[in-house]
Each structure stands twice: as C-alpha cells, then as structure tokens.
C-alpha cells in the first residue's frame, strides 16, 4: 500500500478520504514539525501533504526517493522548492479558490477593525473602561465612499473588491497585468503602484508572493502614501518591510495598519505589538470551517489522483 505523510493535522474530511486508499501517517505534535523529524518521516513515502508552515526544500525531497506528489495545504507554495521538485518529476499542487471568500472576509474585517479602532476599543473596555460618549472620543475613519487600492486583482483581490463595493468604495488595483474582464464586472481602475500609493485611503495586499514583491512596501512606498492611509496585508509577510512600517507608523507617515501575515512569521516584530494603531491577527485568513474542510478535500483528491496514475488538479510546477 502506498504511503502518505501529513506534516500537520488536517480536517477529518480529507484525512478519512486518504485512509480509504493509503497508509497514512500524521504528525500530531503540539508545535510545528522540525526538519529533523521530517527527514526521518519521508524516506519511504509516496506523497507529502504539507501546510504552508512546513518547508519542503531540496534536502527533504532528496530524502524521499519514492515521492510523487507534494500536495500543499494552502493557496501559496513558496514554502516548497517547486523547481527542484519538477526536476525530480514530482508534482506540487495547491488549494486555490478554497480560501477566496474566507480571506476576502478577513481582509475587510481587519480593515474595518483598524479604521474604526475596534481592537483598541475592545482592549479599553476590558481594562480601564471609559467615561461615556463624547464628541471627540475615539474617532476613527469611515470606509464608505473612500478609495481602496488592491495589490493583485486575482481571485481573492477580486472578492475583496466586490465586498468593498458594498461600502461604495472606489476601487483601484495594480499588478503586472491589466484585467479588463474584472475591471468591467467590478468597476475597478488599473493604476501604477505610485498612483495607488498617492490616491488610496486603504491599500490591501492580496497578491501571490514572488521574489519580485519582496519589500514592495518599504520606506519609499510609505512616504508616498497619504498621512491618513492604512495598509492591510493578508497575503505574505515579506511583501512589507516591517521595520520600515514601524518607522512610518511612529512618524505618522501613515495612520494605521492591519496585518494577518508577518515578515518573520511566526515571529512578529516586537514594536508592532505595542502600537494601538495596528491590528494583528495570527495568519487566520482562511481559518474557517468551510475553507479548511474544502482545502482538506482538495489535497486528498490531488493525492489520490496522482498515486492512482491520474493527473492531479492545480499543479503549480507543470
């Protein structure tokens, strides 16, 4: 019987499907799997199912001579050496679309939390309390009628745009390519990054990560933004230079930020934790029962297809 190793627990919806066909081993440690344990576990497996938090590099791949597929549990795949996997004839798959609604909801949620100071207000109510309603007390920013700039108008970016339309927001987007169909259906306007920085009241990052996007938002980018602007990142941490972000927030170069992902994840830049104008969430963009169940179903079906001689879906290194 073919062997599957799962580097962290996944919902039973996917696990039960796999157990119908294969010998399945799951790492169940309280902390993330270490590289040492991973090297021990993969030497005779036919498939690895890995969440984004597990790095599958050349050394891991070389340790698994029978490996035929790495099914990544997540839309991203920058945790895997996909080029080397292809050289070895190994398919790498991901779970696109399953995360779309959940991540778009979270993006809008933390945008609102930052602009209306929701987390800050919750903390106040639970600690010192407040003296009552007053005209100048705890003012935030309305989102209705404002301009949102979206970096990456893919599945998730488009879903964010549709939600933003519900607030009568003006939609700008930027990326390597124009997307006329999305522009027409959503009512979005394509602009350069510099134009977006200058015009947007809120900027949400919803692009798939690539080396070209590393520190796209740096000191120079923050200085081009409005002083009342907010940056929201529910994509990948390294797109934002967190040290530059800290300095921009301290200097009031921009007004606030909301981050679901972090440059040095799982570590969070210490200065961000003490800032009231920053909302922090622990990479929960697709952490819904619905999304995580669907992701489990996709990785299970991709693994079953590949190990039964069929072509899996969503191969990212074809």
Q: Give, for 94, the enclosing helix (H) or strand (E).
A: none
Distance between CA atoms of residues 296 and 54, nearest Å: 16
- The mean per-residue pLDDT over the stretch 169-181 comes to 95
Q: Give, for 221, the enclosing helix (H) or strand (E).
A: helix 219-224
The answer to whether the CB of 303 falls within 8 A of the CB of 297 is no
pLDDT digits (tens, 9 = 90+) for 207-264: 988 889 999 999 999 999 999 999 999 999 999 999 999 999 999 999 999 999 999 9
Angle at 119 between CA 116 and CA 121, to 5 degrees: 75
Distances (CA, A) of 138 to 120, 121, 161: 9, 8, 28
Distance between CA atoms of residues 1 and 169, nearest Å: 55
10 Å CB burial of residue 285 (0-12, 13-18, 19+) is buried
Is the predicted pLDDT of residue 59 greater than 90, yes or no?
Answer: yes
Q: Give, for 90, the enclosing helix (H) or strand (E).
A: none
The residues that are catalytic are 236, 265, 283
Question: Percentage of the chain surpassing pLDDT 90?
Answer: 94
The pLDDT of residue 29 is 87
Mean pLDDT of the chain: 96
């Amino acid at each position: 019987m073919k062997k599957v190793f799962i580097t962290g627990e996944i919902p039973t919806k996917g696990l039960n499907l796999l157990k119908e066909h294969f010998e399945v081993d799951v790492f169940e440690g309280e902390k993330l799997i270490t590289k040492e344990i991973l090297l021990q576990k993969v030497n005779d497996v036919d498939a690895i199912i890995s969440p984004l938090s597990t790095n599958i590099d050349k050394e891991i791949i070389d340790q698994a001579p029978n490996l035929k597929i790495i099914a990544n549990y997540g839309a991203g795949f920058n945790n895997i050496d996909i080029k080397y996997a292809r050289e070895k004839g190994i398919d790498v798959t991901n779970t696109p679309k399953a995360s779309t609604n959940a991540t778009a909801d979270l993006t809008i949620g933390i945008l609102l939390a930052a602009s209306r100071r929701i987390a800050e207000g919750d903390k106040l109510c639970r600690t010192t309390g407040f003296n009552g309603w007053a005209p100048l007390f705890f003012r935030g920013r309305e989102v209705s009628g404002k301009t949102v700039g979206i970096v990456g108008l893919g599945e998730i970016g488009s879903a964010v745009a549709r939600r933003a339309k519900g607030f009568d927001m003006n939609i700008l987007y930027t990326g390597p390519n124009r997307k006329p169909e999305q522009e027409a259906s959503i009512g979005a306007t394509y602009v350069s990054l510099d134009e977006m920085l200058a015009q947007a009241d809120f900027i949400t990052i919803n692009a798939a990560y690539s080396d070209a996007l590393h520190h796209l938002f740096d000191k120079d980018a923050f200085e081009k933004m409005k002083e009342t602007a907010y940056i929201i990142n529910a994509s990948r941490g390294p797109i934002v230079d967190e040290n530059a972000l800290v300095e921009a927030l301290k200097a009031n170069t921009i007004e606030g930020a909301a981050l679901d992902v972090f440059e040095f994840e799982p570590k969070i830049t210490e200065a961000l934790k003490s800032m009231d104008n920053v909302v922090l969430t622990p990479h929960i963009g697709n952490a819904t029962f619905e999304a995580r169940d669907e992701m489990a179903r996709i990785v299970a079906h991709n693994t079953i297809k590949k190990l039964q001689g069929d072509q899996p879906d969503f191969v990212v290194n074809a």
